[in-house]
Structure 1
Amino acid sequence: MYAERIEKLQNHFKSNNKFKEYIGHSAKVHSVGWSCDGKRLASGSFDKSVSIYTLDRERLNKETTFKGHGGSVDQLCWHQTHSDLLSTASGDKSVRIWDTRMQKCVATINTKGENINITWAPNGDTIAVGNKEDLVTFIDARTHKIKSEEQYNFEVNEISWNNTSDLFFLTNGQGCIHILSYPDLELQHVLKAHPGTCICIEFDPTGKYFATGSADALVSLWDINELACQRVFTRMDWPVRTISFSHDGQLLASASEDLIIDIAFVETGDKIADISVDAATFTVAWHPSRYFLAYACDDKDTYDRKRDAGSLKVWGFQSD
């Protein structure tokens, strides 16, 4: 049933496996993400800045750099239907919202701690940000006011809403996924997902699955309605830091300190392709309508090995 599709995808990437590299920062890139229309790619860095690139058919062009954060930009996420709006979480105890059309920061929301992760509800109403002290702050995306704060007594790693914005998910240090109703934040389920810390979580665009990456080097795929684990992806040897579903929900990219990024076929776990990298990978993100994968590694400068390269790469361009 899937053999034909798997072969077709494998063949696609045999002839579309070129990457292009862009130097946008003076220190390592922590987070990359595409705007919902796929026209822009953003990167957030340890150098406190956010770079915006525009995608023009087969190349990226640097459009602008946003400065203003006083600390490392650890994670960013775009509004899921408004292609100009981007939010960033920083170690400077603030969240910023940027408008790429006006090319400026339109809101700064001060929070209690050093922020490490951020997610924007798919309906656009709320931004949630988590800090190093496991406090999650919910921000009204229209008024830019804090709606509520929730303190957890366990290590909160990544946070995310489901695609309908009525359930809120947290991954934690005990290998569990906590599922809360939203907006009332009542605990609905605790899934024991992994023996090791649950690091990242991602929802597939079709609304069928979510996946989590763990310190045990595994990625688990869950049926969102049954809350049952469908399969486990086992090709990594190191803690899985970052995962991303392709626009059609067929592919799942996973990355870690392994020197490859794994591209798996979601329905069977078969390997479709892999991307060789030179260092640990912090962030991966599929384009919202094409088979382009943006990613950033802990690369060092070619000439000065003590310096970070500050680069990001996009893979999936046609090979010559």
Structure 2
Amino acid sequence: MSRPITRPLKKDVLPTAMKPLKPVLFSESPRPSLLVPNIRALSWSATGGLLATCTSAHIRIWNSERPNVKSSTEIRSGHNGSFAGSPGGSATAVEKVMFCPTTENVLASTGQDGGVRLWDVRVPGGVAGAGKGTQLADCKLGDPGLFLTWHPNGQEMVVGTKDDNVHAVDVRRMMDFDSASNTWTLEPSNRTPLNEKAASPRYYAMCFSNSGREVFATTGDGPVKILDYPSMSILHSLSGHSYATYAVQHSPRGDWLAVGGGDSSISLWDTNDWHCAHNLTSHTSAVREISFSFDGAYLAAGSGTDARDGSSGIDIYHADTGDVAHTIDTSNPVTVAAWHPFKYWIAYAGDPGGLKLIGPGSPSA
């Protein structure tokens, strides 16, 4: 892997560093077409060596420095409407993927079958039978999965379903490795409801604070709830949007909380005193995806399935000032964008052909 950048770039230097960089296409076809794959989510692994994408049909794991599809791994046996290999089921429908923050090879996914699955995406070797998309464990939530987020400790997740229920999933209870037989066993009782549906607002997304002691939750009526974890009692509400809020992220430095809403704006909250310091309004459609750069200095956003209603280009916002520091030209509106965990690389979807990555192959990257 390339040596990570550890020195942040100032706002006036970033455009000079990024403007010469050309996007690298990661296409599933050796002959990319003008079609736009419906990439619903993407996630960087803990070191940035891998990139996971999902469409409604399957999951694909990319080597972030090898765009050739032959260097990728496809997981097509995912959320197929059945559970844990039971017969029958409807067409595959994957909703969300996210790499474990502490273990490079472990990926979590959820989808229309109401399940949460853990995958080992290493090349074969190590644990017998593991790698190349081996299913390690799963649990059933009962209703289609909508979102999931890892606790910073890499041992727990919070998962939301489309029936407005939220569950805590203990990964340690999902996976019980038997060293004697060198096999994985699955635990059926491994999730805990965190909310009472009748008393809870509609949640669209959640993320943990950097400490893992709080959960930030977007809602259908707009305010972002700051919840104690694991009690999920409401500690505070942040009201900065006139419509539903869809995306929320805590910056790596911990000084900012970014919230994206259906009003096409992003609110940036100063976590020292919890006031809204900036309201970013250059976005032209609902903000459903938010990503901070590794140093917390810059922010990028995507519009999910609403991207077709917006304009093209990725505005990179400077968190401390709220200014647009640089704009990456794209052919189409961007559905999802995500910064590399240690470099000024940014992956995004929405353009023809497939996933694109700004950064690799350039000395300034």
Asked whether the two chains share a fold, i.e. TM above 0.5, the reply is yes
Query: Which one of 125, 137, 146 corresponds to residue 191 of structure 2?
Result: 146
Cα displacement string for residues 139-179 of structure 1 (whole angstroms, at most 9, x for unaligned residues): 00111211334244422111111011100111011111011
How far, CA to CA, are the matches of 2:335 and 2:164 in structure 1?
A: 20
2: CA distance between counterparts of 1:208 and 1:129?
Answer: 25
Structure 1 residue 277, shift from structure 2 partner: 2.8
Match of 1:166 among 196, 213, 217: 213
- 1-side partners of 2:41 and 2:332: how far apart? 15
Please name the residue that 2:52 is paired with.
Answer: 42
Q: 1:19 aligns with which of 7, 12, 23?
A: 23
- Give the alignment partner of residue 113 of structure 1, picking from 143, 152, 155: 143
Q: Which runs of 5 or more residues in structure 1 are unaligned?
A: 301-308
The match for 2:4 is: none
Which residue of structure 1 aligns with residue 181 of structure 2?
Answer: none
Distance 1:146 1:222, change over 3 A: same
The structure with the larger Rg is 2
Q: Of 74, 77, 91, which aligns to 2:112?
A: 91
1:1-320 → structure 2 map (5 Å cutoff) = 5-16=10-21, 18-24=22-28, 27-47=37-57, 49-56=58-65, 62-68=71-77, 69-70=79-80, 71-101=92-122, 102-103=130-131, 104-144=134-174, 145-152=190-197, 153-256=200-303, 257=307, 258-297=311-350, 299=351, 311-317=354-360, 318=362
Q: Deviations over 1:252-293 (max 9, x none)?
A: 012232212111111112222222333343221100111111
Specify the code of the residue in structure 2 equivalent to 1:21: L
Structure-2 change in CA distance of 1:124 and 1:319 (3 Å) = closer
Q: Retained in 1: the 8 A contact 2:194–2:231?
A: no
CA distance in structure 2 between the aligned counterparts of 1:276 and 1:73, rounded to whole angstroms: 29
Structure with greater strand share of residues: 1
SS at match of 1:184: coil
Q: Count how many residue pairs are aligned between Structure 1 and Structure 2.
A: 304
Dislocated runs of 4+, deviation >6 Å: none
Contact 2:248 2:260 (C-alpha < 8 Å) held by counterparts = yes
Structure 2 Cα separation of the partners of residues 295 and 262 of structure 1: 12
Deviates more, 1:129-138 or 1:60-69: 60-69
Alpha-carbon displacement from aligned partner over 1:60-99 (angstroms, at most 9, x marks no partner): 6633111222132111111111111110111111111111
267-276 or 75-84: which moved more?
267-276
Cα shift at 1:238:
1.3
User: What is the identity, as a one-letter code, of the residue corresponding to 2:63?
Assistant: T
Aligned-partner residue type, residue 19 of structure 1? P
The whole-number CA distance in structure 1 between the counterparts of 2:233 and 2:155 is 19
Structure 2 counterpart SS, 1:281: coil
Q: Deviations over 1:186-215 (max 9, x none)?
A: 111121121111110111111211101111
What 5-or-longer segments of structure 2 have no aligned partner?
Answer: 1-8, 30-35, 81-91, 123-129, 175-189
Counterpart-to-counterpart distance in 2, 1:78 and 1:238: 27
- How far apart in 1 are the matches of 2:259 and 2:301? 10
